[in-house]
Structure 1
Amino acid sequence: MPRPFSSFEPHGGGGPRIREIPFRMLIPNLITVLAICAGLSGIRLAFEDRFETAVVMVLIAAFLDGIDGRLARALKATSRFGAQMDSLADIVNFGAAPALVTYAFLLDGTGPFGWMAALIFTIACGLRLARFNVLDEDDDRPAWQAEYFVGVPAPAGALLVLLPTYLVFNGVVPGPAYAYGSVVFTLLVALLLVSRLPVWSAKTMGKRIPRDAFLPIILGVMIYVLLLVNYPWVTLTVSALAYLVFLPFSARAYTLRSRREQAAEVQLDPIKPYETP
């Protein structure tokens, strides 16, 4: 009797069969799936008026979505399938989930303006992620520019767009003016996502840590986690505001670095500035 389903053949005629894939290859993909589940659960909880739990689920989704790629590289479990799945999860966890939670909590009271702001933020997040994927494949960029994001990264955008919600959880009374102000703030964060603002990525910071800074860093992370557990909304509010303050300093640092790199090129090739195009 023939089997109802034929055996699986890998696309393209190559690659390992399913039974030959090691379990460590599945771990990052499982975390990505859990992140999607957390983000979608946050949306459901928001429409059930359980807003604090909804925001927590969105933040958990953003956290899981932020570590799955790093875990895949640490386990040497990267794959094209995982990269594509992670990109699709990003638009849910960093775009749709925080936008819809904010809409259900605050923006719904502004009529169509709130829905338009939520849509624009989600679309801006998708554009930001697409641009990141394109720049990540650009081998012609100078190596030092890889230390900076072009525009606010999507995880930071998800953290920032929830700032009006954090403030309400801290005791701010959300009146009509506050709701319309939240619409403006949501559009501002969307603009930061698609802007050309250089934002320091801190990618090189974790590669080499000075020995004398090892214990202070562990202590600082522990204190931040304790504050986040005991005073979550105050800690998240201060974190979001600190990130906004950090942005102009990041742009200034990029400008100074660009000038130094241009000056170094002139010293190496002094004839270059006088060449005609």
Structure 2
Amino acid sequence: MSSIDLRTVDLKAINSMTKYPSIPTYHRLDPRNGGLLEECVEFTGPVTLTEKIDGTNGRIVVLPDGSYLIGSREELLYARGDLIGNPALGIVDALRPVAETVGAAAADERLTVFYLEVYGGKVTAASRNYTGSRQVGHRLFDVAVLDEPAALLDWPAERIAAWRDGGGQRFLSEDDLLGRASVLGLATVPRLDTVAADDLPREVEKMHAYLTDRSPRTLVPLDGPAGAAEGIVLRSADRSVIAKARFQDYERTLKRRTSRR
């Protein structure tokens, strides 16, 4: 594969091909009012449950030569060697030391993207659930590998977006993700349990109770007492199916149902 030169590459294309895709809610959202419907995502086999941390998505894009880019969910913020980086949400400051480590270790003939949740500080209104002194933390939650990224660079923006949203990115399986994190010394989002798909609640009310039982408080406080968790992310073993379940969606839905009675 030909090298990718940061000085000449189309950064808009790199940005688009490495954005994190949207994750559906476990119970489908009603487009009319944002409430949850009783229809849920179908899983088979073992399902890994991880804590959903209330922060902001950050990504480290490692190019084949070991150089790297740091980005938020929507835009690239910093390239290795930049004198000035975009300070948005403290993502660059939080992830630059990590990028220096993984940039050297992950360099190969592919393009690798590390997706991390950056939380605490002033990142979100829920930061107080993780820190009382505005500390900032990060946890790895996914890794994608693009085997032939150079081939995508000549595609029009619409084609890249369609490829990404259609599942074109190749994500590591649960076992491979944990193995990669271990080798690189990266802390992952907390694993809560692995359960059989048939044991997952299918009703909205029962899923709310399931969340309360499985993840009532965060497992990754940065200092002080642990506050409320945001919810749970559900993944199949090969990561072909993924969904999120957030307390706020279930509480809003059940409150609306109660008010109608």
RCO higher in structure (CA 8 A, sep ≥6): 2
TM-score, shorter chain, exceeding 0.5: no
Higher Rg of the two aligned structures: 1
Q: Give TM-score, length-normalised by structure 2.
A: 0.25
- Quick check: which one's strand share is greater? 2
TM-score (norm 1): 0.24
Q: Which structure has more helix as a fraction of its residues?
A: 1
